[in-house]
Chains A and B, each alone.
Chain A
Amino acid sequence: MRWLTLLGLLFCACPERPDPPEDDDGGVPTSAEWPDGTVEILNARTMTRLTDSALESGAQGGFHVPIDYRVTGKTVTDVTFSVKVRRASDGRLVSRGQRVQDIDATAWTSGEVYVFMCPSPVGISVVDVPLNFEVVVTGAGGKVLGIAKADATLTCPEANRNFCDSICKG
């Protein structure tokens, strides 16, 4: 019976990780006032639609991905851009941010927005895995004006890959 007890102890000794959250739409509204494509998520360096990108060194030893919001054909003041980044595999939220801006031109871009990625949340890797970017644009009273999505896999820059891996892989 002693070996059975030992096996039991071995199994019991492994701490259980909590189950990932149930898949859902992450709370992103499905309808918006503006037509699809009015809002876009761009790579801030290339000013093209966000796709697979390398992280950049950022705040105090961390890493971020620089994006830009582009809004076409609308001018609205005091709008809120709320971005969420989730892992495609399990829907884990890995970054969120929000800023308020005025859209003052019909061909408007926000300027660089640094989406904080690393240090990553405890136990969660944010590099070398597919990610879903979603930005919701809301106006007065929380009215959803526009929605944009993009998929991208982020990688660590070669220059400091080892350090980046150490803080971006949970």
Chain B
Amino acid sequence: MRQLVTALTVISLCAIGLVSRRAEACGCFAPPDPTVPIVQAGERILFSVENGVVTAHVQIQYAGDAADFGWLLPLPSVPTLSLGSEEVFTQLTTATQPEYRVTQVFNGACGGRGGVGLANAAPGAESGVDFSQGGPSPLVTQSSIGPYDYAVLRADSKTEMLNWLTNNRYFIPVGTDESVTPYINPGAYFLALKLKSGKSAGDIQPVVLTYPSQLPMIPIVLTSVAAQPNMGVLVWMLGDARAIPRNYNHVIINDAQIDWLNRAQNYNDVIIRAVSETPEKHAFVTEYAGTSGVMATRLWTQSRFGSQTELASRTNPSDFVSYLYENGFTSPTRNSFGSDPLIAGVRSIVMAGLPAQPPGTNEENFLQNLRFGGNAGVSSIDSAALAAQIFELVVEPLREAQTLVDSHPKLTRLYTTLSPEDMTRDPVFSFNPELPDVSNIHTATQTVNCGFLNTAGNSPSTLVTEQGWTFSIPGGSTRDLTVGPAALRIETLREEGGPELLTDNTPRIEQTQNCGGCSAVDPASLTLLALGTLLLRRRRA
């Protein structure tokens, strides 16, 4: 039974639980040894749809030998290809990240204060393939952009395309022959990327693809040949309305299973369990749906980044690096110096323009030292060339991305996890203007009943979640977070109208949560319960 808690004394908002996941890559990686499956850790894509044209920002994250990098993506037409920026994904993640906050209310005076902090990322995986130039057929076009050489291949014939990939030392993982079949048809294409000679894995940056299509789709079936279990798929959609999964179900998680008091560290586990409870394990969670204004000015403004001419004029290495730190070329993630680090792409360009540093050098620390006049041995810098690269490869993509974001009023963030055996259907995304917004901020209230000499950490408390589930937590104990279903509701979202309910687990959750105090167990409580039961039986006897 849900209960409302009346706050007697509100002290402070003392905790923010921030959940983040690192998810990398998209498309299909092909490994050198076809018997060794590549473990692709995740998908991260920003889609926008306008006038029958899809624009996709695809994040590629890879750490390994540059010669081993290769990337394959099916497309419906010859795409327009340009460079993106990691900063787009950094800012999108920050602006729309699910946050689980706990408001603490203290009854009495506790000797200390508890709290929760930030939870962090899941690891990724790296993989790649050797990719060389080869014969022309079924080659449509090949060129270079930024750090990449790329080729667009006709997908009219699977045999011809796979032969071309094989002949060009693009090894095909076991299973690709079958999984690539749905994407083989007249008029279809594949995009293949490799790093240019002389480029390193650190030069990899997102790519932006533009192609005619009414709705965006992720070729997840193709990904199944080289994906890790419970791979995260994170999608942002820009449009005029809230985005929905068209051919996947929708799930709302049971927030009673969130570890509110421990930084919501189990958030991804709850997602995995909730998705596994849905039909075919095909469902997305909406983590945010609302105004795209949360991204306003995050990527580019007229006054950010200063001027290329001014930057180029800083021929002294310290002055050059200082200009970067002082003129918006940083990303808001505090480093050990207490300042924001340089945007990843900027850092890579600058480091490539300096004398090679010893292996293991912390690039950010090195540049901070250079900024303040340290690092003897770096006496000169080609400031004009570096400035040109920074503005071409970082600033301009950010300006274009900001324009894209600002031209669409709505932003939606959708997330799911899929294991290879469940990657049987490519998710497609559409819109429904009738659905309400979804906040990424979630708040629970913990009322701490301080006792004499108790601290907040060992005082009994009552936690009421955002969904209204109430737990009595004896001081110092923990509760079982896996009791009952992880999904509160499973529903289908259509392109018009409200959600269609498939499963409402509210009664089951109520039953498993029992009453206040029954879900948290500690030995002392068990002992008292046993004694009480024994006394009751003796009296009845």
Number of A-B contacts (CB under 8 A): 90
Mark out the residues of chain A between 9 and 64 whose CB falls within 8 Å of any chain B CB in the assembled complex. Answer: 15, 18, 21, 57-62, 64
CB–CB B425/A119 < 8 A = yes
Mark out the residues of chain B between 27 and 63 whose CB falls within 8 Å of any chain A CB in the assembled complex. Answer: 51-52, 54
* Interface size, B (range): 35 or more
CB–CB B187/A120 < 8 A = no
Contacts known (A114-B52, A121-B494); A60 close to B76, Cβ less than 8 A? yes
Q: Which A residue's beta carbon lies closest to that of B426?
A: A61
CB–CB A119/B426 < 8 A = yes
Q: Which listed residue (B217, B425, B430, B496) contacts A60, Cβ 8 A?
A: B217
Pick from B89-97, B128-136, B349-357, B500-508 the stretch touching chain A: B500-508
B182 within 8 A of A: yes
CB–CB B495/A121 < 8 A = yes
Contacts known (A96-B495, A119-B247); A61 close to B214, Cβ less than 8 A? no
Report the bound CA distance from A61 to B246 in whole Å.
15
CB–CB A60/B183 < 8 A = yes
Q: Which B residue's beta carbon lies closest to that of A113?
A: B52
Mark out the residues of chain A between 52 and 100 whose CB falls within 8 Å of any chain B CB in the assembled complex. Answer: 57-62, 64, 93, 95-100
Per-residue 0/1 for B176-193: is the Cβ within 8 Å of any A Cβ (1 yes, 0 no)?
000001110111100000
B328 within 8 A of A: no
Number of A residues with CB within 8 Å of any CB on chain B: 30
B84 within 8 A of A: no
Q: Which B residue's beta carbon lies closest to that of A56?
A: B187
Residues of B within 8 A of A62 (CB): 217, 426, 428
Report the bound CA distance from A115 to B212 in whole Å.
12
Report the bound CA distance from A15 to B490 in whole Å.
11
CB–CB B247/A61 < 8 A = no
A4 within 8 A of B: no
B261 within 8 A of A: no
A103 within 8 A of B: no
* Chain B nearest CB, measured from A167 CB (Å): 7
Report the bound CA distance from A57 to B156 in whole Å.
11
Residues of B within 8 A of A98 (CB): 51
CB–CB B213/A58 < 8 A = yes
Report the bound CA distance from A102 to B77 in whole Å.
24
* Chain A nearest CB, measured from B382 CB (Å): 42
CB–CB A114/B214 < 8 A = yes
CB–CB A99/B52 < 8 A = yes
Residues of A within 8 A of B211 (CB): 59
B215 within 8 A of A: yes
CB–CB B426/A115 < 8 A = no
CB–CB A64/B217 < 8 A = no
Residues of A within 8 A of B181 (CB): 163
Mark out the residues of chain A between 89 and 133 whose CB falls within 8 Å of any chain B CB in the assembled complex. Answer: 93, 95-100, 113-116, 119-123
CB–CB B219/A60 < 8 A = yes
CB–CB B221/A61 < 8 A = yes
* Chain A nearest CB, measured from B198 CB (Å): 33
Report the bound CA distance from A111 to B346 in whole Å.
43
CB–CB B425/A21 < 8 A = no
Residues of B within 8 A of A116 (CB): 213-215, 428
Residues of A within 8 A of B221 (CB): 61
A5 within 8 A of B: no
CB–CB B426/A99 < 8 A = no
B523 within 8 A of A: no
CB–CB A21/B497 < 8 A = yes
B492 within 8 A of A: yes
* Chain A nearest CB, measured from B436 CB (Å): 18
Contacts known (A97-B214, A114-B214); A119 close to B246, Cβ less than 8 A? yes
Report the bound CA distance from A17 to B492 in whole Å.
10
B74 within 8 A of A: yes
Q: Which B residue's beta carbon lies closest to that of A159?
A: B185
CB–CB B76/A59 < 8 A = yes
Residues of A within 8 A of B249 (CB): 122
Residues of B within 8 A of A59 (CB): 54, 76, 211, 213-215, 217
Residues of B within 8 A of A167 (CB): 247, 425
CB–CB B214/A18 < 8 A = no
CB–CB B188/A97 < 8 A = no
Per-residue 0/1 for B158-187: is the Cβ within 8 Å of any A Cβ (1 yes, 0 no)?
000000000000000000000001110111
Contacts known (A21-B497, A57-B186, A97-B52); A122 close to B248, Cβ less than 8 A? yes
Residues of B within 8 A of A57 (CB): 185-188
Per-residue 0/1 for B213-241: is the Cβ within 8 Å of any A Cβ (1 yes, 0 no)?
11101010100000000000000000000
Report the bound CA distance from A120 to B214 in whole Å.
13
CB–CB B217/A61 < 8 A = yes
B75 within 8 A of A: yes
CB–CB B428/A119 < 8 A = yes
* Chain B nearest CB, measured from A94 CB (Å): 8
A interface with B by C-beta (< 8 Å): 15, 18, 21, 57-62, 64, 93, 95-100, 113-116, 119-123, 159-160, 163, 167
Which 4 pairs of residues, A with B, have the shortest CB-CB distance? A57-B185, A59-B76, A116-B214, A18-B500
B interface with A by C-beta (< 8 Å): 51-52, 54, 74-76, 181-183, 185-188, 211-215, 217, 219, 221, 246-249, 425-426, 428, 430, 492, 494-497, 500-503
16 new A-B contacts at CB < 8 Å, known A64-B214, A96-B496, A99-B51: A57-B186, A57-B187, A58-B76, A60-B217, A61-B221, A62-B426, A95-B495, A97-B52, A97-B214, A114-B52, A116-B215, A119-B217, A119-B428, A121-B494, A122-B246, A122-B249
* 9 pairs, A vs B, C-beta closer than 8 Å: A59-B213, A61-B217, A61-B426, A95-B214, A98-B51, A114-B212, A119-B246, A119-B428, A122-B249
